[in-house]
Amino acid sequence: MSTSLAAQLQRLAVPATSALYDSRKKPSILFDAQAAAGKDREVIYDIGISGLQELVQLNPAFLQFEDTLFGKTSIDLQRSVENKELNRKLDASIRKFFFHLSPYFMLQPAHKCLEWLIRRYSIHEFNRADFVNLILPYHETLIFVRCVQVLHIAGKNDPFAWLHGVKKSGAPLAKKSIVNHAAGSLGFLRSYGEFLEQAVAELDNRANVLQAMIAFYCTTTIGVLDGADQVGENLVVAIIKTLVKGLSSKALDFTAASYMIVGHLVSKATLAKKTLEKILQRLAVQMHPSLTGNAVMLMVLILQTQQEQIGELSDAVIATIMSAKWLPQALGRVKQEGVSVVTLLRAVLGKCLSKICRQDEDLELCKRFCEGLLLEITLTEDEARVVIQSVLDSYFHKGTTAGETFPSSTF
């Protein structure tokens, strides 16, 4: 009985002890915990406002947060007693602010703003996932360490327990540690990919300023792929949605990063035909002139490494490829640079010629596209033999896959 009473008294004592602790120390990235406790909300608010004003000078988009996250009325807000709907709106607003803040994270004004968000909105407790996603691209810096040290990490079963070493040692986080964590917890790649997608969508035409975030996702994902003995379905599922988004993104860096990751992916894993066709279509409709050569080389790599999975190109894929007016010239340039494009040329011509033989409704488009390809690309004797065989095969077999009758010695 006395033991039970002692346990009850101990539980009752915890809130009081915590309150006493909180009154003596406050989480802060600008001051030590005791110095921060000596500064009231008004002081921290003024610091946050000055940071916001400096950011507005750099980017007027930050004005949208002046009356919300940094509004005067927010000084007395207590998240722990607010209803779910208000907290949900706060979460959305804070995440949106993080998207805009990411390119400026290393600047002092950003730290001032975060100081206010930590004090007033307890982002280190209520918004840990988004806060960690914001700071991870800067994992080699001391300000990253300061941010990790204010995080509330409950114990070894906490989702962020993998950052406990940083919190304790005060040393920056090695890239290898991040890659190892991502490899062991595929939800991390999925979550960060979604965060990146939303950031790119939010910044829209200005999304290229997210270089740090994009580079972090790219290098981490490639690190996981390269380190895997075998790339399983779960890893593919964790990253494919973000990659498909990136392939057709208006943000050049996001698209380029997606190309790099897909290149590593198709070299390590066997993908489903539907997934491969979706990737090929996204490559064909890419919107960055500076990446046309990269798109062609990735198409070639896909057809080289995934030929058995793809088989004959579908009507939908060839229609998308034929609509890419830039493709013949880009193929010609890549060929001149010494890249073998025979695999791609064979697949495209074989499908086009079979459609011509069947007198399909897009007959004239197929003819023009084939003519354009052959005018732009200078072929060697062996490559010309492949093309001629494609023509003959399509003529005699009336729409069967051209590649089915090619002798292996031709290649």
Model confidence over 6-51: pLDDT tens digits? 544 444 443 433 433 455 678 999 998 888 887 889 999 999 999 9
Residues 264-298: tens digit of each pLDDT: 999 999 999 999 999 999 999 988 999 999 999 99
Average pLDDT over residues 58-84: 90
The mean pLDDT of the chain is 88
Q: Are 322 and 360 in contact (CB under 8 A)?
A: no
Q: 372 in helix, strand or coil?
A: helix
C-beta of residue 393 within 8 angstroms of C-beta of residue 407: no
Q: What is the mean pLDDT of residues 319-336?
A: 94
- Residues with Cβ within 8 Å of 287's Cβ and at least 6 positions away in sequence, in order, are 248, 250
- What is the pTM assigned to this prediction? 0.88
Local confidence band at 408 (pLDDT 50, 70, 90 cut-offs): very low
Judge whether residue 391 has pLDDT over 70. no
Please report the pLDDT score of residue 359 as a whole number: 74
Residues 372-378: contacts with CB within 8 Å, 24+ apart?
372/328, 373/328, 373/331, 373/345, 373/348, 373/349, 375/328, 376/328, 376/329, 376/331, 376/332, 377/328, 377/331, 377/332, 377/335, 377/341, 377/345, 378/332, 378/335, 378/336
Distance, CA of 127 to CA of 95 (rounded, Å): 8
- Residue 145's pLDDT band, with cuts at 50, 70 and 90, is very high
Cα–Cα distance measured from residue 312 to residue 405, given in angstroms and rounded to the nearest whole number: 13
Helix then strand count (H, E) for the chain reads: 22, 0
pLDDT bracket for residue 356 (50, 70, 90): confident
Selected residue with higher pLDDT from 395 and 351: 351
For the chain, how long is the longest CA-to-CA vector? 96
